[in-house]
Amino acid sequence: MKVFAGNSNRHLAEAICNYLNVPLGKASVRRFADQEIFVEIQENVRGEDIFVVQPTSFPANDHLMELLIMIDAMRRSSARRITAVLPYFGYARQDRKAGPRTPISAKLVANLITEAGADRVLTLDLHAGQIQGFFDIPTDNLYALPILTHDIRVNYDIGNVMVVSPDVGGVVRARALAKRLDCLLAIVDKRRDRPGESEVMNIIGEVAGKDCILIDDIVDSGGTLCNAAEALLKNGATSVTAYITHGVLSGGAVTRVANSKLKELVITDSIQPTTAVLSAPNIRVITTASLIGEAINRTSQEESVSSLFD
């Protein structure tokens, strides 16, 4: 087994290698003057079980091309099996036709990864579970819920916690967390009566006096979370914390979260945090290295991955 990484999130790749007690594979991923990507694998991979760690986060297109070219380089170097490890799968939000004459980009990206030569895919908290079916190769979708649950137990009095879904679409995820914590569930019902009018937040559930935990898979602009936190506090919540797997945090999201009424935003390192994220007073990063590392180890040893979540 050998683990390699592109330039997307080397810190996570190094942490995974520390967990596995293997060195990070030697590879050069650089650019020519015209920004073409060039990959050179600097050690023998013939007959090896290869894992390429490369979340396709911002800049998504560059990191996706790095992944595809690395997979091609491994295949042409006679690797026995190549697993694309995508802690964050970019383009996952384009998983259906949102309107006439629009693409299903998640399927296109799945095809590209398969055609490049990947034999397996290992990913974390897909935006939509059915994306696993977009791949024509075995795909394991890991869940960050055990890591998030442990952190909540360490930092909160579970008897006073209420799990909150920030929208109706996230109820399944919120219910799973509430079941693990054995606590109550509330839902933020978000509505916009007319175009251009501000959203009306209705809270389904009694949150007064509770420490509310918002749970979701992706935080991008942060607007929904910040508005939900304000609505929950207006309804009597004691505090509001958000636990999110993928901290995309584009544009002015970090400033928005820092100035919001969120007690804390907890994200994982599936996307390499920026300097702004690391310096924000109410954003904290927890690692997924042990979870992904154990999944890689079990995949290499042909053992069950799903039993990680039993």
Q: Which of 261, 225, 265 is nearest to 241 (CA)?
A: 265
The annotation status of 193 as a binding-site residue, yes or no, is no
Q: How many CB atoms lie within 10 A of CB 77?
A: 15
Sequence length of the chain is 310
DSSP 107-134: HHHHHHHHHHT-SEEEEES-SSGGGGGG
The annotation status of 93 as a binding-site residue, yes or no, is yes
Q: What angle is formed at CA 184 by the lines to CA 178 and CA 189, rounded to 5 degrees?
A: 90
Q: Looking up tokens 């990191």, which residue turns up?
A: 63
The annotation status of 132 as a binding-site residue, yes or no, is no
Which amino acids are annotated catalytic? 190
The annotation status of 216 as a binding-site residue, yes or no, is yes
The annotation status of 94 as a binding-site residue, yes or no, is yes
The annotation status of 99 as a binding-site residue, yes or no, is no
The annotation status of 127 as a binding-site residue, yes or no, is yes
The annotation status of 221 as a binding-site residue, yes or no, is yes
Q: What's the burial of 165, exposed, middle or buried (CB within 10 Å: 0-12/13-18/19+)? A: buried
The two tokens of residue 259 are 């100035």
Q: What's the burial of 237, exposed, middle or buried (CB within 10 Å: 0-12/13-18/19+)? A: buried
Q: Which residues contact 221 (CB under 8 A, 6 or more apart)?
A: 250, 251, 252, 253, 256
SS3 293: helix
Dmax over CA atoms of the chain, in Å, equals 61
Angle between helices 289-300 and 10-20 (to 10 degrees): 60
The two tokens of residue 210 are 């509770």
d(CA 234, CA 238): 10
The two tokens of residue 106 are 């998640």
d(CA 231, CA 245): 22
The annotation status of 49 as a binding-site residue, yes or no, is no
d(CA 62, CA 7): 9
The annotation status of 11 as a binding-site residue, yes or no, is no
Annotated binding site for Mg(2+): 127, 167
Annotated binding site for ATP: 34-36, 93-94
Annotated binding site for D-ribose 5-phosphate: 192, 216, 220-224
Annotated binding site: 34-36, 93-94, 127, 167, 192, 216, 220-224
